[in-house]
Structure 1
């Protein structure tokens, strides 16, 4: 689960070529990249007035403008400020994978260059199908978007795709990770591998529950029609997350379902759509 951390400053220089700007909700940042008069911007926050004002202040102090903005994925807290950015800087180009009519598409491997920074786009689906990470070649670093965060764990649309992306990301760089949420990570590849291990541990926990012949003795037995050969996703949650507040169980259930769907695709689990019960194959 995500720990409660102290707030980060609204703007902060993270390296000679990276300035972080608070993008909206707590812990969500956009990142300005480069050192010359033309800069790259990664994401635009969720459209709050404070963000565009902070961006203007940074650009004024740096005597710079935004040449291009690169959107890591479609979620509103990453694209919400595009309109305000273009109102302030109408010449800025907007890039996004699976672009709409007002945007320019990004190809896997495409490079974006300004003084002090070369970013290589790396298609990394999982959190979303359009998700792009960006390898910062000069620093041997990576802008990880929402696939890897500065604290806690990430959500994902497809677990198999997500794990594949994490595995490939871990081989693309050896330095820092600059996430879309939370602080920078000094050893980026190590954090990516931690994410992979965490997901592997969760999968193994689900498998162990599915292999169990019956629910643990302390599980509620109110449902007399319970099929002890099968487990609902919420029953699995109550075993794996028994030390976690029930308020978080619905969110945990979504993660368990992702594991079950992955196991089903691999022929290792079978779900019954009528009873919503699953068993190991």
Structure 2
């Protein structure tokens, strides 16, 4: 099996150096994972990477604009299905796939894992000793989370899978999959403890909690920090550990 990483030229504060597109080839066949945005130079690089191979599908980890837009046009051009969660967030895959499904490419079967948390439609793709994680895990940074309860369950599932390699949606290939997954879990548990500690002195607003948990935060990053703190608070509320008050939030 040969895996080629193609970096899209879309660097930015949320994409790092750019979005990773992967071509997984075996037995003369290939699939394309996360073809990314509609950038001519990037599409040309993908076409070059699959030259001489029979492409059997285009897989999408989630609907975000740095991962999904080129999927259906490229699939149509190649005469193959796009595979994704389904109709969600403005992206509708040609063929919906679900947890436990398999996509055959050459001599391998790529296992579909529904891994919500970053988004509700997030998928990971496991094959051999590796897993393609989209934005569920990135290299060198944490991720923005919509649903913290679901995300922690996803991390536990990936920890049990114990992939040797992680092929993230952004950043370099991760060679210590179990170690990085453990780091992610530890980070989120510590952040949750920080949120609880911020409420130890009494009820506080979300804004006050963010200021306590993220001291010295760059104002440009405040919206992301607020989303993260809110996701932690929602998880704690589901667990009956915090409650809403007139001020904002309080321990129960």
Instruction: Check whether TM > 0.5.
Output: yes
**For residues 147-170 of structure 1, what are the alpha-carbon distances to aligned partners after superposition, in whole Å with 9 as ceiling and x for unaligned?**
000121011110000000110111
| Greater C-alpha Rg | 1
Q: Does 1:123 align with 2:114?
A: yes
Partner of 2:163: 174
How has the CA–CA distance of structure 1 residues 187 and 165 changed in structure 2, closer, same or farther, with 3 Å as cutoff? same
Shift of 1:101: 6.6
Question: Where do 5+ consecutive residues of structure 1 fail to align?
Answer: 1-15, 213-228
Partner of 2:40: 49
Which stretch of structure 1 is more off in the superposition, 23-32 or 140-149? 23-32
Aligned residues: 243
Q: Does 1:235 align with 2:208?
A: yes
- In angstroms, what is the RMSD of aligned CA positions? 1.7
Conservation of the 8 A alpha-carbon contact between 1:166 and 1:196: yes
Superposition TM-score, scaled by structure 1 size: 0.81
Instruction: Give the counterpart of 1:191 among 180, 183, 186.
Output: 180
Q: Distance in 1 between matches of 2:41 and 2:73?
A: 11
Partner of 1:93: 81
Q: Does 1:158 align with 2:131?
A: no
Which stretch of structure 1 is more off in the superposition, 233-242 or 178-187? 233-242
Conservation of the 8 A alpha-carbon contact between 2:6 and 2:20: yes
Conservation of the 8 A alpha-carbon contact between 2:167 and 2:174: yes
Superposition TM-score, scaled by structure 2 size: 0.90
Partner of 2:14: none
**For residues 94-124 of structure 1, what are the alpha-carbon distances to aligned partners after superposition, in whole Å with 9 as ceiling and x for unaligned?**
1111247761111211112223533111111
Shift of 1:72: 0.9
How has the CA–CA distance of structure 1 residues 22 and 122 changed in structure 2, closer, same or farther, with 3 Å as cutoff? same
Q: Does 1:267 align with 2:252?
A: no
Report SS of the residue matched to 1:239.
helix
Question: Where do 5+ consecutive residues of structure 2 fail to align?
Answer: 12-17
